[in-house]
Amino acid sequence: MKQYDYVIVGSGIAGLYTALLAKKQGSVLIITKGSIDDCNTKYAQGGIAAAIGKNDSPETHFKDTIAAGDGLCNIEAVRILVNEAPVRIADLVDFGVPFDTVDGEISLTLEAAHSAPRILHAGGDATGEHMEVTLSKRSRSSKIQMLEDYLATEIMVEKGIVKGVKALDCRTGSIEQFDCRYLILATGGAGQLYKFNTNSDVATGDGVTLAFNAGAEIIDMEFFQFHPTTLHLPGVTPFLISEAVRGEGGVLRNVDGQRFMPKYAPEADLAPRDVVARSIVYEAKRTGSDRAFLDVTHLPPYVITTRFPHIYRFCLDHGLDITKGPIPVAPAAHYMMGGIKTNSWGETNIAGLFAVGETACAGVHGANRLASNSLLEAVVFGKRIITRTTKGTKAEASSNSTQGEEQRHSLSQRQVAETVPPPSHSVLQELLWDKVGIIRHKEGLTEAADVLASWQKSLPKPTDRPSYELNNLVVTGRLVTEAALLREESRGAHFRSDFPRTLPQWQRHIILAR
Ligand SMILES: Cc1cc2nc3c(=O)[nH]c(=O)nc-3n(C[C@H](O)[C@H](O)[C@H](O)COP(=O)(O)OP(=O)(O)OC[C@H]3O[C@@H](n4cnc5c(N)ncnc54)[C@H](O)[C@@H]3O)c2cc1C
């Protein structure tokens, strides 16, 4: 059995950045279930937010983040996020992330619901790829030990303190145990819950399930962000058409070529993601279609090809010249706002267990994430975890500056449904998309909750990566569904057609724990 100071699970921005800092403090092992760059990070297009522009300030970034969070942010965590952003950006520049520049200055763009241009990008719309490549090269040159094709399967806890983690060697099928002082989960999101999603195959909610099974608190799971604009072509996996395209002037039109966002929201095409996603669903239904069209043909072609080279090329490869014709788009599941509950130091309720990145929920996104705050969250809280662990292990009381009280629940006991389809990834994705998707209601949610509970009881013991991932999706899917059933209102990304209003009595958080 091997003993490390830090074991970090995951090799996206959260895992790699945290590992690079941890390396200066002790022995580090990264475990990752695929190759180093199998992650969501490399797909990030728009960029990373930081108030570094002349006419911007952390205060404005703070206000925008709080407004997007719709009453459920953690004030302290958001302050930390926006105040520490500029210095973390400087770290990324030092690590070699090649942010785009204009006349020697970092170039900043605007995205929906940001009140100033504050999005740094790299390679135009290839920000995540540049970050992943830069950080993985750094990790290799820093000789950080890394095990690829190792899937974390169980967190070892003794007397309330983390001991280590068990992992499946996906090549041999054997299980190994790695002991550590600090276990850091950086396992990303769970977009694979949904039939239409923008996420990498690795986004199967593993960290949330591992932490939940170990006794950690899971919070805000009902808030799943659906990105309004993904390329909608038959037989093509949804491909993200970044928010920045609308930031640069792109407009949405219906199947009849008419603009429709001004009639749904005062901010029109730059309204928050959930509003735009629902508006597309309503407008498509109204016009008897299954999509909308994002039009950039009025922009100078060079703006499109230089600002969005990746999107331009991808569409061209699929027979669509976006400088000449509109882009067919539809919403898809994109980002998990909830996750493993942490305080502002990345600590969970289990001593020695930390979480960072999309799998964690420090409270910066509330009920809805402001675009480009997630890459930022990973670096800000990754740094804080290392600061915390170098100051000693004694847990600090969790901060109490959250908007809204927290209410603890356990997963409800459900009648095992008699006729359920056999569990499989595609059936689960259909179920979640249809019943726990953009527009939800009690009947659909109850049906999904019953089916998921039946599956949880009937699934055989996992033995390989696909079976572990299916188990994790079932547990994570239950957490999303049960929280969505409990929240009898609409807020942020969570919309209930049977409770369409935001209710003051629901300004509270749902925590699920064993
Ligand atoms: C298409 C797309 C575009 C986006 N654009 C932006 C953007 O412009 N700006 C922005 O801020 N955010 C954006 N996001 C969100 C952002 O990319 C992610 O939230 C962020 O990259 C998450 O980083 P992470 O390190 O937490 O997770 P990931 O990058 O997903 O990495 C997770 C890692 O954990 C590993 N892992 C998972 N489970 C296990 C296990 N059981 N055992 C071992 N390893 C495991 C995975 O293999 C992977 O290495 C975008 C997301 C997508 C999908």
pLDDT in tens, 124-146: 889 999 999 999 999 999 999 99
Cβ atoms < 10 Å from Cβ of 143: 9
Compute, in angstroms, the gap from residue 42 CA to the centroid of ligand 1.
8
Q: Which residue of 8, 20, 31, 40 sits with most ligand 1 atoms within 8 Å of its CB, as the best mutation to test the pocket?
A: 40
From 188, 190, 263, select the one nearest 225 (Cα to Cα).
190
Specify the 3-state DSSP secondary structure of 414: coil
Report, as ranges of residue numbers, the positions in the chain whose pLDDT lies below 70.
1, 392-400, 417
Cβ atoms < 10 Å from Cβ of 188: 31
The answer, yes or no, to whether any atom of ligand 1 lies below 6 A from the CB of 382, is: no
In the residue annotation, 273 being an active-site residue is answered as: yes
Compute, in angstroms, the gap from residue 190 CA to the centroid of ligand 1.
9
Angle at 85 between CA 80 and CA 90, to 5 degrees: 140
The answer, yes or no, to whether any atom of ligand 1 lies below 6 A from the CB of 6, is: no
Residue 210: Cβ-neighbour burial (10 angstroms; 0-12, 13-18, 19+): buried
Compute, in angstroms, the gap from residue 36 CA to the centroid of ligand 1.
12
Question: What is the maximum span of the chain, computed from C-alpha positions, in angstroms?
Answer: 66
State residue 397's pLDDT score: 47
DSSP string, 368-393: SPPTTHHHHHHHHHHHHHHHHHHT-S
pLDDT in tens, 312-340: 999 999 999 999 999 999 999 999 999 99
Q: What are phi and psi of 442, to 5 degrees?
A: -55, -45
Specify the 3-state DSSP secondary structure of 208: helix
Six token digits for residue 422: 């056999």
User: Which one-letter DSSP state was computed for residue 25?
Assistant: T
How far is CA 56 from its chain centroid? 25
State residue 393's pLDDT score: 46
Which of 273, 278, 307, 487 is an active site residue? Answer: 273
Compute, in angstroms, the gap from residue 40 CA to the centroid of ligand 1.
3
Amino acid letter for position 46: G
The end-to-end CA distance of the chain, in Å, is 29
Name 509's Cβ contacts closer than 8 Å, sequence gap at least 6: 72, 219, 220, 402, 404, 405, 406, 407
Q: How many Cα atoms sit within 13 Å of 388 on the Cβ side?
A: 29
DSSP string, 65-110: HHHHHTT--BHHHHHHHHHHHHHHHHHHHHHT--B-EETTEEPEE-
CA distance 494 to 95: 37
